Amino acid sequence: MFTIEQIEQAHGKVQSGADFPAYIRELAQLGVMRYETFVSDGHTKYYGPGDEKVASGTPHEPLAVAHTADMAGFNEALKSHQQGGTDFPTFLADCAKHGVEKWEVKVDEGTCTYYDKTGRVVLEESIPQAD
């Protein structure tokens, strides 16, 4: 069984989106199968085999998520983040600004799906393999 402390230790190594693939690999080694991150307050729910789950706290003050998704703006912010141009708090603020309410990572499938406030998929992408 994984703990929130183990997950936070792995997440502490992430400086930008460029570190994301290695983070996903480490979560898989811990036994995390999927997780959901909620932009409004930054908390994340992690799920493992069976009923195993843990949740993080809320690391920042609430953010207002835009009611309408701006796909072009979000894609630009995501690309910048993935290339190491922004840190995690900035990325969360960009998500809120561009109408992304949450994302779900399926570790075993290697996908990350972003959703708007209505639950509509804004973007689904494959996670690159870590070096």
Count of alpha carbons within 13 Å of 102, Cβ hemisphere only? 14
Q: Is residue 66 included in any domain, yes or no? A: yes
> Per the domain annotation, does 44 fall within a domain?
yes
Instruction: Name the band, by pLDDT with cuts 50, 70 and 90, for residue 86.
Output: confident
The domain containing residue 25 runs over which residues? Answer: 4-126
Q: How far is CA 102 from the centre of its chain?
A: 8
Which pLDDT band, with edges at 50, 70 and 90, does 82 fall under? confident
Is 130 a residue whose pLDDT tops 90?
A: no
Provide the mean pLDDT of the chain.
91
| Residue whose pair of structure tokens reads 């972003």 in the numeric block | 114
Q: Report whether 16 contacts 84 (CB < 8 A).
A: yes
Averaged pLDDT, 61-66: 94
Q: Is residue 105 part of a domain?
A: yes
Q: What is the pTM of this model?
A: 0.88
Separation CA 56–CA 82 (nearest Å)? 23
> Is 12 a member of any domain?
yes
51 pLDDT above the threshold of 90: no
Residue 104 lies inside a defined structural domain of this protein: yes
Does some domain include residue 131? no
Please state, in angstroms and rounded to a whole number, the distance separating the CA atoms of residues 18 and 131: 11
CATH code of the domain containing 24: 3.30.1810.10
Number of domains observed in the structure of the chain: 1
